[in-house]
Amino acid sequence: MRILLLNLYYPPDTSATAKMAATVVGALGARHDVTVLCGRPSYDPSARRPWRLWQSEPDTAPRRATVLRVGSSDYPRFRMSKRVLNYLSYVALAVPRALFVPCEIVLAMTDPPFAGIVGAFVALLRRKPFFYNIRDMYPDMALGGSLLPPGRLGRFWERLHRWALRRATRVIVLGDDMRERIIAKGVDPSRVVIVRDGAEIAPPGAPPPALDPQVLRAIRGGFRFVLLHAGNLGFYGAWESLLAAARLVENDGIGLVFVGEGAQLGALRAAAADAKNVRFLPFFPAEKIPSVLAAADVHVITVKRGLEGVVVPSKLFGILAAGKPVLAVAPPECDAARIAIARGCGVAADPANPEEVAAAARALAADPEKLKYMGESARVAAPAYDRLGELQRFVKIVEEAGPA
């Protein structure tokens, strides 16, 4: 089949959707011809592109893939107003170009946040099946994260999004909580399928990765027990509860370490200025990820109440593969909390209750045998979320539901 994939970001962009788009293209491109219609790199790119109305380039990684870049603006992502211009210029140029790309299937991800609506519109004009891979769910994310005030714009966006969901041949989502939220919008359950991001699982007998002692020291830094949040510091996290809980366990030798960046980093730093057991570190290079994962006693995953199913933190699966316990500061309906509890590799705490988060942290720090059991359970659970298997499932869904 010939597949048209719509997503603003694509490598050398470094966003999560850019990386996942490349991974999906790699899997689909092993058997099908894929055209990626994206914009000029703007998300912390390692390379720029000169402006052209559109330009074609071969994909450096996979197989049977072509990259078409339209001449969208390439303002840095850090100012939302400029980022919106990137979104709008991409849509204005990508839609006309998409009408002339040979394809049998239109596949959209979620960059820009209204890419699903754009993909459904293109598929309608082309009279092609539409597949919608939701990474983060909008406008729910914008409203729940207070990025967009309630009002007419949000209601109009939601109506268009529900139209796109109903038009989709398949809606491919990241977890059970997201699937339930979409079905509640009136979408046929048979059309909503789960494909998790998963993680790369080392083959049996593979030697453990070499660890960098400098990374371990930077993260642990004299703390007796380390809670680690490694990843994006976005609008979805229960950051206030985490910081309040950290203050409650300050005299217990428990440290809370953040590794990463994001829109809330500045506010978090300011809020934690007087906390002696809170540390902020930037992202480490990709080759240091095994050391980052190994440095923690327990990894923190957080989703604030009301955003379960809107965002699905996929870092859970790398944590499981590293054999580390999880503290899910998230509602029990959240996919990460469900998996951690069901698999015996973690505990959950109310994201609106700092005392409960602190109590969970103290209980974990006081029970090394339980920690050991949870770590072993995490390693046992990890193969069920092997990334290769999830990608094969993605391809199978497209092939089975696509045109004969």
For the stretch 134-176, pLDDT in tens is 998 988 888 877 677 888 888 999 999 999 999 999 999 999 9
* Helix boundaries (H) for 99-210: 115-126, 140-144, 152-167, 176-183
DSSP label of 174: S
Q: What is the DSSP string of 49-82?
A: ----SEEEEE-SS-TTEEEEEE------TTSHHH
**CB–CB of 218/331 below 8 Å?**
no
| Domains in the chain with CATH codes | 2-198+386-401 (3.40.50.2000), 213-384 (3.40.50.2000)
> How far apart are alpha carbons 6 and 115 in whole angstroms?
7
Nearest to 272 by CA among 233, 253, 246, 251: 246
> How far apart are alpha carbons 399 and 1 in whole angstroms?
8
Q: Which residue has the higher pLDDT, 38 or 205?
A: 38
pLDDT value of position 63: 61
Determine what percent of the chain is predicted with pLDDT higher than 70: 98
> How far apart are alpha carbons 336 and 343 in whole angstroms?
11
**CB–CB of 170/363 below 8 Å?**
no
List, for residues 18-57, the tens digit of each pLDDT value.
Answer: 989 999 999 999 899 999 999 999 987 778 888 899 888 8
List, for residues 72-118, the tens digit of each pLDDT value.
Answer: 999 987 777 888 999 999 999 999 999 999 999 999 999 999 999 99
146: Cα separation from own chain's centroid: 19
37 beta partners: 6, 68
pTM above 0.95, yes or no: no
Q: Inform me whether the pLDDT recorded for 346 exceeds 80.
A: yes
List, for residues 361-402, the tens digit of each pLDDT value.
Answer: 999 999 999 999 999 999 999 999 999 999 999 999 999 987
List, for residues 282-292, the tens digit of each pLDDT value.
Answer: 999 989 999 99
List, for residues 231-248, the tens digit of each pLDDT value.
Answer: 989 888 999 999 999 999
pLDDT value of position 262: 84
